Structure 1
Amino acid sequence: MGDLLNSGSATVLALIILGLAALGFALTRRRTVVSVQGDTRRLHSLPAYYGYNAAMLIAVPSLMVIAVWLLVQPVLVQNAVIELIPEEVVAEGSSVGLVMSDVRRVAEGLDSAVAQGAMTVQEAASLDAGATDVRAQLAEIGVALGADVQGPVLAAAQRYRTMTATGRLAMMVTALALALAGFAYAFSRTNADFRARNTVEAGIKALLILAASLAVLTTVGIVLSMLFESINFFRLHDWKDFFLGRSWAPNFRGDSDLSILPLLWGTLYISIIALAVAVPIGLFAAIYLSEYASSTVRSFAKPLLEILAGIPTIVYGLFALLTVGPFLVKIFGRGEDGLLGVDWMSGATSVLTAGLVMGIMLIPFVSSLSDDIINAVPQSLRDGSFGLGATHSETIRQVVLPAALPGIVGAVLLAASRAIGETMIVVLGAGAIARISGNPLEAMTTITTRIVSQLTGDTDFASPETLVAFALGLTLFVLTLGLNVLALYIVRKYREQYE
């Protein structure tokens, strides 16, 4: 029991409940068949439905309780534990998160000492938190710490251990009680007249509705969290400067210029270059794979092309910084050392660097979606065009592409949304300078890069220089949402239905 409570309790408990659900399925199904002396035609539903009903009543409520418990308990424990930490300790240390990290570290050390037999549970709970050298007291029982531990942290760790263990035990008892109650209820209702199929289908429908609701509610929660913080930002900073200003110069000491226009310009500029690279290459690749390539070529060329979509964006960023950027500098920069003998590019980071690499990343998005859309055009249209004497290329230009154009436009807009939200390629390839300029060889930055920058480090979430990240995030969300809605509108409005 102690091992269950101290190591992987939720996983072990979930496995036990799933085992009970499997047992309930088998026993309930068997009882149903026995109740009609093996003549399953007398049952309202198939025997398996009676087992499914028992398994659902055993597993679903218990697993939901475990999930909610795991989400709520850490918050409640932290709120109770942090009361033991004096305000001056938090002020001297830094944030509440760092203090709680020390508390958890000490609690884990005490658990380890108890597990190894260096001390008993009672001794761990009775350690003197008021001792002058808490670190030495812990070292005597084998709890080695790399930093000094103050008395309040030890007291908080002791309460943390107690409340966590109590919570785990209560979770286990509650979940098992629900599972057994569900088994007893399902077993008592099992008879030939019970409409098990209707009950199971209603339960599955409820689970599907819950899953859909969680997805919607998650989106709503994200939007509301950004909205409320954005409102706090506009209470501290003039909205005219944010939307109409031309300078981005955050200063945590005050008097900051926080205009989104330079960031928005950099975002759109890099995205346009990326789409200028990805759309032609991706579309031509899709046309070749769908109209010209043999089945053998297509079978290995398309998976190889789609591998680009699985490469981490940090790898693309490093490729931009170490390969593409220096290559462009050799062409456009360093005066006489450059191939063109000009000095237009002073460093490896630029809009063109990030745009080219991002365009390479977007190629599989455009090609894969366009390929599926082109293949969806009915073969009868091609045959009719060939019958009228059109060549293969004329059929593609005048029949296939016009029929697939709405879907292709939607694919391009979805790729644009992906480009606007990219971060790592821009961080490493485009630089961090917020400016409005038409020169693609200059370094610029984007909205996503500034969001990361403003929320990195020891930030004060009451200052406009930090809250501006939420306003930027909300603006970016609205921008990408608009592009997605536009893509869906175009696809639905101009899609032609072919018989």
Structure 2
Amino acid sequence: MSTVDTARGAAGAGPSLRRRSRPLEIIITALLVVAATVSVLTTIGIVMSLVGPTLGFFQEVSFVEFITGGKWTPTFSDKHYGVLPLVVSTLLSTAVAITIAVPLGLGSAIYLAEYASDSARRTLKPIMEILAGIPTVVLGFFALNALNPILRDIWPGGEPPEFQNLLVAGVVMGIMIVPTIASLSEDAMSAVPRSLREGAYALASSKRQVAMKVVVPAAISGIVASFVLGLSRALGETMIVTIAGGLRSDRVTFDLSEGAATMTAFIANIGQGDLPVGTLDYDSIFAVGALLFVFTFVLNAVSIRMVRKFREVYE
């Protein structure tokens, strides 16, 4: 058969192939639309479930008192509704987690993307990602019963940390989000064109210079996205801080060696069905949840803006 006949046959088969693929494409498109719609409707449902009880809460409690008050004791006889202790504890434990996770996660990603051999990468990355599949309740008990005794033994002088404290909770949360940061950052670095590396090596750059001055800047949008995703997960973590962080919320504390309740720990502890529905104490759960939702929303909005900015620079 001549080349012309082959081309004619391929041209004739083209419309037939396209006609056969259309039903499958329609089905896939419909499934994607359904998935996107479910995601949007879920978000709307979450917002609607928070709005009603939150508005009812603020009809009884001043918003200024809620934001600036230094005591959170809705279930005490002497009731105070200042959410500041929960916010400070949440930010402290999250800061500890990010301090642990960012260098470990980014260092792991740089090693896997630039230094490890293909066989080492195929072996180490799945092993590292196993950590992401460990239930957080297990990590919480690990923090309380394994890591905290070690921390108390090596604590330098003075009073040792409390049995439940923000430091050990933050450290274990940092360990928890290391695979998230490492995996996403490594994917971003692996997507950097090989030509950029080869150009840097042609200019007599070392492997360290290529990794730190070429690959990391070129993949910065994906790296920033991994940081924000890890930060969001630490901010919304519940079981670790509930088990290992403590539940004290009657005062603001900046001491990591003390136990204190975070926003998620309060929600998990109080939302167990003991409070009558429709009471002010019950509505306080939704007010804290709405505040946490706002924090996460603002964080994601800022991260999207940052990712777009860096992506424009390196496109």
What aligned pairs does 1:319-334 form with structure 2 within 5 A after superposition?
319-332=142-155
Partner of 2:72: 248
SS of equivalent to 2:272: coil
| 2:274 equivalent to 1:458 | yes
CA contact (8 A) 2:242 2:269 kept: no
Over residues 209-235 of structure 1, what are the superposed CA-to-partner deviations in whole Å (9 max), with x where a residue is unaligned?
Answer: 344222211210111110111011111
Partner of 2:4: none
Partner of 2:201: 386
- Aligned counterpart in structure 2 of residue 236 of structure 1, from 49, 60, 82: 60
TM-score of the two chains, using structure 1 as the length reference: 0.57
CA distance in 1, matches of 2:224, 2:27: 40
Question: Residue type matched to 1:313 in 2?
Answer: T
Distance 1:236 1:373, change over 3 A: same
**Structure 1: gaps spanning 5 or more residues:** 1-40, 50-196, 333-339
Distance 1:208 1:382, change over 3 A: closer
CA contact (8 A) 2:165 2:246 kept: yes
SS of equivalent to 1:354: helix
Partner of 2:180: 365
What aligned pairs does 1:335-346 form with structure 2 within 5 A after superposition?
340-345=156-161
What aligned pairs does 1:190-209 form with structure 2 within 5 A after superposition?
205-206=29-30, 208-209=32-33
- Aligned counterpart in structure 1 of residue 307 of structure 2, from 471, 491, 494: 491
CA RMSD, Structure 1 to Structure 2 (Å): 2.4
SS of equivalent to 1:249: coil
| 2:98 equivalent to 1:275 | yes
Partner of 1:478: 294
Partner of 2:129: 306
Equivalent pairs, count: 300
Question: Residue type matched to 1:292 in 2?
Answer: Y
CA distance in 2, matches of 1:371, 1:295: 13
SS of equivalent to 1:286: helix
Partner of 1:218: 42
Distance 1:201 1:352, change over 3 A: closer
Q: Which moved more, 1:413-422 or 1:210-219?
A: 210-219
CA contact (8 A) 2:218 2:314 kept: no
Distance 1:208 1:341, change over 3 A: closer
1:206 CA displacement:
4.9
Partner of 1:67: none
| 2:286 equivalent to 1:286 | no
1:270 CA displacement:
0.2
What aligned pairs does 1:11-410 form with structure 2 within 5 A after superposition?
205-206=29-30, 208-251=32-75, 255-332=78-155, 340-345=156-161, 347-410=162-225
CA distance in 1, matches of 2:132, 2:87: 25
**Structure 2: gaps spanning 5 or more residues:** 1-11
CA contact (8 A) 1:226 1:470 kept: yes
1:257 CA displacement:
0.6
CA contact (8 A) 2:73 2:81 kept: yes
SS of equivalent to 1:353: helix
Distance 1:321 1:391, change over 3 A: same
Partner of 1:430: 245
1:248 CA displacement:
0.8
1:207 CA displacement:
5.3
Partner of 1:444: 260
Task: State percent identity of aligned pairs.
Answer: 42
Over residues 319-364 of structure 1, what are the superposed CA-to-partner deviations in whole Å (9 max), with x where a residue is unaligned?
Answer: 00101111111122xxxxxxx342242x221111101111111110
CA contact (8 A) 1:350 1:431 kept: yes
CA distance in 2, matches of 1:399, 1:211: 37
CA distance in 2, matches of 1:474, 1:311: 28
Partner of 1:99: none
Over residues 113-168 of structure 1, what are the superposed CA-to-partner deviations in whole Å (9 max), with x where a residue is unaligned?
Answer: xxxxxxxxxxxxxxxxxxxxxxxxxxxxxxxxxxxxxxxxxxxxxxxxxxxxxxxx
